[in-house]
């Protein structure tokens, strides 16, 4: 297949970014026209990615090694496009966030797709920036004090972390003389101090984006201040993109030398799982709680990378999907409950069980999936991660995972408990919206489906992750 | 000809100054400027290493860094100006209202 055909999902999305911008200029209901164009763009890119994936192709190295299109990158495409579609539907017809909302979401999704197929550090850097730059604007697009604060914090820490990442990449280039991940593998047998410094700075840069514990302080503030649909995109899409590039970078470039990064990643994973879930316990703002939950889940994802095994890579890739479905569902309910408000506290959830029983039931399912209760996707995902940690003979990771899950259980049961408290009659009854209902329905079907019958998706993930150590 | 190591040392010093600036200063504009300094230090290091390895890819990367930095400055200054319009003060500790 030609490179034009293999990268058609990316080209399509880039074309639809321009179309959406033009759609913003036509007379009439501009936001609606742009939303439809954006949705069609994301859906067509999704369909094309799925159709290329189903023709199980050999990994294709394009653009002088800069881009690797394989089942892994196509699966990442599917995940991030799902997040993008969710963001468009959750923000459907919303004029508060400006006309550019749809176009910026599309650019950001394009950046996440680029991260999935990066084959050298140039594309890694460009992917991270194409992902981040639109998100800075989106984070600041809520016209409140918290919105400006979120945008500013995200911008400053994003620029700071990109600077660290860039200097790390420069040192790696100096130590190894190449920018391509595939060349790294043959050059990293001898560890020079410069390579050490470069690798650690690069990892710090990626950890900032992923929200791993010593580098997580921006996550809750940015999640709280951003518009809810954008927070959903950050929580699901950005995490997929950063995790995908982390796995590709380490398992393509440094798979021969896991002794240099494996232990560090293991300790950080345990720290992140415990601290993230522990800090989620006392939160009263729901978006903030989901922010800390996102930190905790980044730790779970890191377990899969730290085991440095095929099982771990597969478990991590699988875990992204139940986590993403749970995020989609949680934010759909959050937007219903918020109405015209900016934020949702736990007390706003009171009485939902009696006022909107179906909505409350769906919310409970989503929270149980976050916590990892059997019959939900979250349980299957955690089970595979635990299995990978034990197979890799790393009981410390397994213990950290279990402790993190137990702490998380407490954090996720508090919102559920609030659902059954007596309702505050002064608050309006949450109203369904069409876009949110579609997202919630997909999220619930996905969560239950992955929990009851995960085999097809597991098969799909196994096929996508089996290129490691074989190239 | 200046040895490559000197250029890299200069880049490392600029990077350190930028990093310290981001962490110690409280004015968002200065913090943003310091972050841009870190980017430029990386670009300088890339150019130095490109000469050491006689390959063009490092120079390509330096150009891309400069271009992306320009895009980021455009967005960053817009956000900082918006925040300033709302508060008429620029101090990151005063702007910071979300805690916990």
pLDDT tens readout for residues A127-137: 999 999 999 99
Contact B32/A224, CB-based, under 8 Å? Answer: no
Break chain B into its structural domains and give their ranges: 4-95
CATH 1.10.287.3510 fits domain B4-95: yes
CA atoms within 13 A on the CB side of A390: 10
Alpha-carbon gap, residue B87 to B100, rounded angstroms:
22
Report residue A471's pLDDT band, with 50, 70 and 90 as the boundaries.
Answer: very low
Q: Which of A24-38, A93-107, A115-129, B77-91 has the highest mean pLDDT?
A: A115-129
Contacting residues for A29 by C-beta, under 8 A, at least 6 apart = none
Instruction: Specify the range with the lowest mean pLDDT, choosing from A91-100, A325-334, A384-393.
Output: A91-100
Sequential DSSP letters for B21-45: HHHH---HHHHHHHHHHHHHHHHHH
Q: What does DSSP assign to residue A253? A: I
Query: A87 pLDDT exceeds 50?
Result: yes
User: What are residue A256's phi and psi, to 5 degrees?
Assistant: -85, -10
Write out the H or E segment, with its range, that includes residue A299: helix A286-306
- Which chain A residues touch B38 with a CB distance below 8 Å? 160, 163-164, 166-167
Write out the H or E segment, with its range, that includes residue A265: helix A262-280
Instruction: Specify the range with the lowest mean pLDDT, choosing from A83-87, A145-149, A168-172, A245-249.
Output: A145-149
pTM (2 decimals)?
A: 0.94
Contact A149/B97, CB-based, under 8 Å? Answer: yes
pLDDT of A56: 65
| Chain B residue closest in CA terms to A179 | B57
Contact A156/B31, CB-based, under 8 Å? Answer: yes
Structure tokens given for A394: 């790393």
Span A281-296, mean pLDDT? 93
Greater confidence, B84 or A111? Answer: A111
ipTM over 0.90: yes
Write out the H or E segment, with its range, that includes residue A62: strand A60-62
Q: Which of B39, B48, B79 sits opposite A163 (nearest CB)?
A: B39
Contact with chain B for residue A100, Cβ under 8 A:
no
Write out the H or E segment, with its range, that includes residue A46: helix A30-54
Q: What does DSSP assign to residue A63? A: T
pLDDT of A121: 94
Query: A470 pLDDT exceeds 50?
Result: no
Structure tokens given for A171: 């040192």
- Residue A180 pairs with which residues in a beta bridge? A120
Contact with chain A for residue B30, Cβ under 8 A:
no
Structure tokens given for A243: 């995790």
Cα angle A364, A359, B99 (rounded to 5 degrees) comes to 65
In contact, A442 and A321? CB cutoff 8 Å: no
Contact with chain A for residue B41, Cβ under 8 A:
yes
In contact, A163 and B39? CB cutoff 8 Å: yes
Alpha-carbon gap, residue A297 to A57, rounded angstroms:
31
Share of chain A above pLDDT 70, in %: 98
Alpha-carbon gap, residue A130 to B84, rounded angstroms:
26
Report residue A188's pLDDT band, with 50, 70 and 90 as the boundaries.
Answer: low
Contact with chain A for residue B17, Cβ under 8 A:
no
- What pLDDT tens digit does each residue of chain B (100 aa) get? 789 999 999 999 999 999 999 999 989 999 999 999 999 999 999 999 999 999 989 999 999 999 999 999 999 999 999 888 887 777 777 777 776 6
Contact B18/A163, CB-based, under 8 Å? Answer: yes
Residue recorded with tokens 């909107």: A356
Greater confidence, A208 or A252? Answer: A208
DSSP-H helix ranges across A55-100: 71-90
Instruction: Specify the range with the lowest mean pLDDT, choosing from A133-147, A159-173, A386-400.
Output: A133-147
Minimal C-alpha gap between A133 and chain B (Å):
7
pLDDT of A397: 94
Contact with chain B for residue A136, Cβ under 8 A:
yes
């Amino acid at each position: 297949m030609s490179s034009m055909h293999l990268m058609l999902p990316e080209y399509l999305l880039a074309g639809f970014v321009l179309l959406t911008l033009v759609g913003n200029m036509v007379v009439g209901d501009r936001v609606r026209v742009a939303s439809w164009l954006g949705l069609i763009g994301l859906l067509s890119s999704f369909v094309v990615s799925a159709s290329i994936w189903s023709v199980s192709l050999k990994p294709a190295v394009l653009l002088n090694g800069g881009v690797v299109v394989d089942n892994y990158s196509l699966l990442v495409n599917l995940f991030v496009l799902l997040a993008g579609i969710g963001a468009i539907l959750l923000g459907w017809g919303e004029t508060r966030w400006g006309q550019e909302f749809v176009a910026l979401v599309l650019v950001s999704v394009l950046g996440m797709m680029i991260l999935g197929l990066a084959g050298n550090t140039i594309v890694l850097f460009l992917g991270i920036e194409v992902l981040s730059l639109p998100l800075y604007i989106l984070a600041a697009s809520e016209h409140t004090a918290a919105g400006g604060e979120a945008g500013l914090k995200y911008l400053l820490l994003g620029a700071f972390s990109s600077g660290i990442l860039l200097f790390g990449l420069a040192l790696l280039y100096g130590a190894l003389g190449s920018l391509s991940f595939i060349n790294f593998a043959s050059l990293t047998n001898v560890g020079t101090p410069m390579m050490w410094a470069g690798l650690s700075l690069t990892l710090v840069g990626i950890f900032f984006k992923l929200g791993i514990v010593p580098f997580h302080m921006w996550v809750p503030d940015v999640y709280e201040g951003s518009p809810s649909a954008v927070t959903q995109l950050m929580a699901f899409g950005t995490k997929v993109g950063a995790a995908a590039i982390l796995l590709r970078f380490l398992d393509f470039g440094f798979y021969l030398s896991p002794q240099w990064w494996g232990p560090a990643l293991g300790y950080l994973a345990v720290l992140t799982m415990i601290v993230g879930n522990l800090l989620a316990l006392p939160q009263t703002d729901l978006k903030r709680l989901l922010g800390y939950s996102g930190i905790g889940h980044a730790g779970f994802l890191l377990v899969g990378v730290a085991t440095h095994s095929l099982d771990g890579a597969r478990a991590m890739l699988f875990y992204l999907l139940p986590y993403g479905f749970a995020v989609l569902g949680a934010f759909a309910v959050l937007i219903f409950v918020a109405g015209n408000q900016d934020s949702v506290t736990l007390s706003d959830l009171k009485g939902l069980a009696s006022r909107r029983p179906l909505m409350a039931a769906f919310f409970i399912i989503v929270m149980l999936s976050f916590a990892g209760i059997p019959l939900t996707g979250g349980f299957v995902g955690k089970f595979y991660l635990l299995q990978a940690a034990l197979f890799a003979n790393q009981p410390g990771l397994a213990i950290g995972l279990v402790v993190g899950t137990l702490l998380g259980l407490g954090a996720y049961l508090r919102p559920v408990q609030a659902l059954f408290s007596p309702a505050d009659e002064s608050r309006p009854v949450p109203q369904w919206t069409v876009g949110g209902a579609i997202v919630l329905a997909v999220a619930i079907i996905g969560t239950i489906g992955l929990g009851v019958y995960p085999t097809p998706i597991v098969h799909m993930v196994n096929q996508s992750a089996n290129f490691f150590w074989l190239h | 000809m200046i040895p490559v190591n000197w250029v890299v040392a200069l880049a490392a010093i600029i990077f350190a100054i930028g990093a310290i600036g981001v962490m110690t200063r409280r004015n968002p504009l200065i913090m943003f400027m310091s972050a841009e300094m870190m980017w430029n230090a990386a670009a300088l290091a890339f150019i130095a290493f490109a000469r050491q390895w006689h390959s063009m890819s490092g120079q390509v990367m330096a150009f891309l860094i400069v271009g992306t930095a320009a895009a980021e400055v455009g967005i960053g200054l817009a956000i900082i100006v918006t925040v300033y319009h709302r508060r008429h003060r620029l101090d990151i500790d005063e702007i910071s209202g979300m805690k916990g």
